[in-house]
Amino acid sequence: MKFGVNTSFGIYGLYNPVASSLYFAIDAFYPGGWGGFARNYDSLQKENSKISPGFVTAPFGALKF
């Protein structure tokens, strides 16, 4: 499954290199990759809201698994 997602984003990167680079950066450098990001999403949202009220890290429901 991971191979399929990585391959898909690699191909998509030919058309949208920014999105593909963002996917790679989070997958490679965020502790735990996308799974770690999803687990930490709530705390990230709360901390960012303290700095900038109304801040949304990602559209609501986008990271529900």
Domain extent at residue 43: 2-51
- Number of helices (H), then strands (E), belonging to the chain: the values are 3, 0
46, amino acid identity: K
Tally the domains of the chain: 1
3 band by pLDDT with thresholds 50, 70 and 90: very high
Whole-model pTM? 0.60
- Mean residue pLDDT of the chain comes to 82
Rounded Cα gap, residues 62 and 22, in angstroms: 15
61 lies in some domain? no
Tell whether the model's pLDDT for residue 11 goes beyond 80: yes
What pLDDT is recorded for position 59? 63
What tens digit of pLDDT does each residue of 22-53 get? 899 999 998 888 888 888 887 878 888 888 88
Does residue 63 lie in a domain region? no
